[in-house]
């Protein structure tokens, strides 16, 4: 049996992705940057997949092209930039760099 490329759980004999992550992948792809992140999380929760597994799915980087979360955020950002008439694009790497730089800032009390 192979492990799921997203969550690491058992995927099946010939499968690369488990049933739950396939469902999450299809749901995320169907919105393609058209909804905000909180609304997307609500849609993912509607699948009935356990929240912990949704988090593992979002953090996964199954093919080295950036985590699912960073890809979705890049898609949302690019859609917003397009609507605003700004000719610029964000990549998943750009999103990851920005996200990580924000994590390094100490919080003030």
| Residue 24 φ then ψ, to 5° | -65, -40
pTM equals 0.81
Query: Residue 104 pLDDT more than 70?
Result: no
Alpha helices in the chain (DSSP H): 19-31, 37-45, 51-59, 68-83, 92-103
Query: Would residue 17 be called left, alpha or beta, if left means φ above 0 and alpha means ψ between -120 and 50 degrees?
Result: beta
Over residues 28-82, the pLDDT tens digits come to 999 877 888 899 999 999 999 999 999 999 999 998 989 999 999 999 899 889 9
79-to-61, 72, 93, 97, 104 alpha-carbon distances in Å:
22, 11, 17, 19, 27
> β-strand 2-3 against 10-12: which pairing, if any?
antiparallel
- What pLDDT is stored for residue 35 in this prediction? 85
Average pLDDT, the chain: 89
pLDDT grade for 9, boundaries at 50, 70 and 90? very high
């Amino acid at each position: 049996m192979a492990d799921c490329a997203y969550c690491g759980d058992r995927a099946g004999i010939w499968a690369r992705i488990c049933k739950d992550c396939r469902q999450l992948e299809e749901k995320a792809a169907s919105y393609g940057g058209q909804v905000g992140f909180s609304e997307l999380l609500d849609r993912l929760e509607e699948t009935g997949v356990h929240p912990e597994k949704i988090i593992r799915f979002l953090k996964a980087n199954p093919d080295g092209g950036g985590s699912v979360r960073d890809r979705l955020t890049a898609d949302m950002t690019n859609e917003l930039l397009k609507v605003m008439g700004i000719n610029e694009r964000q990549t998943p790497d750009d999103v990851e760099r920005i996200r990580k730089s924000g994590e390094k800032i100490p919080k003030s009390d």
